[in-house]
Structure 1
Amino acid sequence: MRQNIKKNLIILAITQLIILIILFLYHHKITLIHYIDISFYFTAGFILLSLLLYTIHSGFYDIISKSFNTAFSRDREKRKFEDVPGLSELITLDEKPLLFHGLFNGLLMIAALIAYYF
């Protein structure tokens, strides 16, 4: 557990460093409003990617991926629809770390937004 917390903190620190580097390279100065803008993109990316992985793991896209696989491999080999693996079986990434990093970056962004308005 302690190793997992340390790894998450290192990833969060790297994410914040990347945000600051992009902020400096793109805007040539570091301001609070520009930090909020850039961190919003990171937060949205992490959360949307975790939601996409969640829907994939739920099996929502399995029928579509099986249908495409069956349709595009029709001439090469004959196999049953049930033998084709679903997309949820092929993608094994865990969505929970992405959601955690997205929410934590979002909390830092909200804290910066509150500091900006007060």
Structure 2
Amino acid sequence: MNFRLKKKLYTLTFTQLAIFIISFIYYRNFSLISYINISFLISATLLLTALLLYTIHTGFYDAISRSFNLVFSRGKEKRNFEDIPRLSEMITIDEKPLLFHGLMNGLFMLIALMVYYF
């Protein structure tokens, strides 16, 4: 089996295990509703983090972060706007694994939701 596929399956298994453990801790038992609630929160967190990283990588926040850096460093040293590093260059986390695991957990949540309603 491919190493990347194994890594994705292990991470997906870990997130599913975390959903079960959090369900037992928070609800004191395991039910389909508790699985749906917890998996929604985890998948929404993963998807929103992936979308935030995507917007950072596109350079959307570069001018804002550079402006804040320039304003708050004023008086300490003379800096040019071009010398300040861009936020998209500093954040190097890949958003694709977060997007994949958020979509997969969301898919499992939707399957559980269909089982619950039908």
Deviation at 1:76, TM superposition (A): 1.1
Runs of 4+ residues deviating >3 angstroms: none
Match of 2:61 in 1: 61
Match of 2:10 in 1: 10
Q: Return 5+ residue gaps in structure 2 as ranges.
A: none
Letter in 2 for 1:23: S
69-78 vs 98-107, which moves further: 69-78
Deviation at 1:30, TM superposition (A): 0.5
Match of 2:25 in 1: 25
Match of 1:42 in 2: 42
Match of 1:103 in 2: 103
Deviation at 1:42, TM superposition (A): 0.4
1:91 equivalent in alignment to 2:95? no
Match of 2:73 in 1: 73
Q: What is the TM-score normalised by the length of structure 2?
A: 0.98
Sequence identity percentage: 61
Aligned length: 118
Query: Cα RMSD between the aligned structures?
Result: 0.9
Q: Return 5+ residue gaps in structure 1 as ranges.
A: none
Deviations 1:18-55 (A, max 9, x none): 11000001101100011000000001000000000000
Deviation at 1:107, TM superposition (A): 0.5
Q: What is the TM-score normalised by the length of structure 1?
A: 0.98
Letter in 2 for 1:104: M
Deviation at 1:79, TM superposition (A): 1.3
Distance in 2 separating the partners of 1:112 and 1:68: 45
